[in-house]
Structure 1
Amino acid sequence: MKRIIEICANSAQSCVEAEAGGASRVELCAGIPEGGTTPSYGEIVMAKRLTSLIDINVIIRPRGGDFLYTEAEINSMLLDIELCKQLGVHGVVFGCLTKEGDIDVPLMQKLIEAAKPLSVTCHRAFDVCRDPFKALEELIALGCDRILTSGQQSDAVKGIPLIKELVEKAAGRIIIMPGCGVRDTNIVQIARETGAVEFHTSARSIVYSQMEFRNEKVPMGSNSVSSEFETVQTDRKKVALCVYGEE
């Protein structure tokens, strides 16, 4: 059977791969090592130009780290949402918390109103909120379309018990979408044990640089990067295994 798969796409080319593999939707992000940040204007435009069948959701997250935002960051998010509306994407993805760890309902309402008529997903800010069941009801009341969650654990397999409870309590009022560590090797288990019907995965493979001359003594970024002559990109074959894999 074909599953509803959302791909966490780190580039326009990853969107192409996601579409070729049969995914229903992408969440387009930059800054993957930080958990995803808002992609550039150019990346969004090229993702739109290079695809025709897949829905494109854009993450609205001005930085990595926590989900308590300053006034300047909020205004940046509003501008990015307006840009996404102008570019005609399918939806936007964001999440905001108070300093006490609750959903920032007034701010979420402001962003959701600004985003209309785009689809809205609350991202994994949900996974670090204080009370997931209170947050669930608040996000339903706000009109969010779905919640991306690992069940407040480091990966969705560990989070299966909470995800199952959330699916049951949501009762069709909002989509609960497991994400983080979802693979073709465990998606059947996650689906069976949670009752979820949409899934979020990266389905990436390493892409090796075509550079012949290399000065590896001069890093351009963090020393934690294994090689600056390797990147990762969505792999259409891995996408297809998640979309069409056997039950």
Structure 2
Amino acid sequence: MGSLLEVIALHPADAEAAQEGGADRLELCASMEADGLCPSVSTVSAVRRVTDLPLRVMLRLSDSFTTNGAELNRLTAMAQSYLSAGADGFVFGFLTADSEVDAESTAALASTFGGTPWTFHRAVDAVLEQQRAWRALRSLPGLDCVLTAGSSLGVGHGLDDLLKLAKDDPQVAKVMMAGGSLQPEHVPWLYGAGVRRFHVGSSVRQDGSWTKAYVNARFVRAWRNLLDAQDEKAQNQQAQDQKAQDEKGPGA
């Protein structure tokens, strides 16, 4: 599988630059000072008009990772509005008051738009016990991606944990998307552990600013080139391995 590059977009200009730079998918949200909240429906519509990239929209109403029945009802209605406006998927996830994955609430929301893929966001980095959290994630309907830095402080702090999780379980590596202060030097290590999905936000903006700079297509292109180089390296290695196996012959 080739690598996937997801870019955070806040508005149409971000989306256009991300596509120009070679992004594969967008995460659309608002209010990055709160680590991403629900955007307006009009923003979703506007972004869909300027890009044909797959578009996953944030379902989060506050800076908390917990939720309640009233909030779930609002999010259910918003999800339907987003789908009508052109969303292809969603980004969300809830924790209990004890900082464990709230599988019940998360599954309840996911079940309202069955068949639509979604990402469990970095709430997973705030759990107390990672192994238990990943076991809970396996049970969630429609989940095909987990955004994680391995630490609430970012990939720089959580890299070793991400590598261990990915190496120990290929199924975890398959759904893992590394993001959260991701740096280029992290990519070869993650790629070597089987991770093929990467998520960037501030690193594709001038000076890393959410408020003073839009997504820069050249910065996105640099990430695209980095991932393409990893893909090419892996393909070449696979071809060499296959050639060596063929030279050994059947039953070798």
TM bucket normalised to smaller: 0.7 to 0.9
Letter in 1 for 2:127: C
Find the counterpart in structure 2 of residue 5 from structure 1. Answer: 5
2: distance between equivalents of 1:101 and 1:85?
30
Contact kept, 8 Å, 2:15 with 2:26, in 1: the verdict is: yes
Contact kept, 8 Å, 1:3 with 1:243, in 2: the verdict is: no
2: distance between equivalents of 1:50 and 1:28?
13
Structure with the higher strand share, 1 or 2: 1
Task: Check 1:71–1:141 CA distance in 2 against 1; reply closer, same or farther (3 A cut).
Answer: closer
Find the counterpart in structure 1 of residue 93 from structure 2. Answer: 95
2: distance between equivalents of 1:164 and 1:110?
31
Are residues 1:150 and 2:160 paired? no
Q: CA deviation digits over 1:24-66, x for unaligned, max 9?
A: 10110100111000111111001100012x11000101112x2
Q: CA deviation at 1:155?
A: 1.4
2: distance between equivalents of 1:153 and 1:73?
24
Contact kept, 8 Å, 1:5 with 1:23, in 2: the verdict is: yes
Contact kept, 8 Å, 1:178 with 1:200, in 2: the verdict is: yes
Letter in 2 for 1:22: G
- After TM superposition, the structure 1 = structure 2 runs for residues 112-191 of structure 1, keeping only pairs within 5 Å, are 112-143=110-141, 144-172=143-171, 174-184=174-184, 186-191=186-191
1: distance between equivalents of 2:189 and 2:167?
17
Letter in 2 for 1:94: F
Q: CA deviation digits over 1:110-145, x for unaligned, max 9?
A: 111112221110000100012111111211121311
Are residues 1:240 and 2:226 paired? no
Contact kept, 8 Å, 2:99 with 2:126, in 1: the verdict is: yes
SS at match of 1:146: strand
Count of residue pairs the alignment pairs up? 224
Find the counterpart in structure 1 of residue 237 from structure 2. Answer: none
2: distance between equivalents of 1:170 and 1:89?
31
Letter in 1 for 2:80: E
CA RMSD of superposed structures (Å): 2.3
Are residues 1:60 and 2:41 paired? no
Letter in 1 for 2:72: I
Contact kept, 8 Å, 2:91 with 2:118, in 1: the verdict is: yes
Contact kept, 8 Å, 2:39 with 2:58, in 1: the verdict is: yes
2: distance between equivalents of 1:36 and 1:239?
20
- After TM superposition, the structure 1 = structure 2 runs for residues 10-21 of structure 1, keeping only pairs within 5 Å, are 10-21=10-21
SS at match of 2:157: coil
2: distance between equivalents of 1:36 and 1:170?
29
Gaps in structure 1 of 5+ consecutive residues: 208-225
1: distance between equivalents of 2:86 and 2:43?
14
Find the counterpart in structure 1 of residue 73 from structure 2. Answer: 75
2: distance between equivalents of 1:22 and 1:125?
27
Greater C-alpha Rg? 2
Of structures 1 and 2, the one with the larger relative CO (CA 8 A, separation 6+) is: 1
Task: Check 1:125–1:154 CA distance in 2 against 1; reply closer, same or farther (3 A cut).
Answer: same
Task: Check 1:131–1:176 CA distance in 2 against 1; reply closer, same or farther (3 A cut).
Answer: same
Letter in 1 for 2:22: G
Q: CA deviation digits over 1:178-222, x for unaligned, max 9?
A: 101113454334434x43110000143249xxxxxxxxxxxxxxx
SS at match of 1:172: helix
Structure with the higher helix share, 1 or 2: 2
Find the counterpart in structure 2 of residue 26 from structure 1. Answer: 26
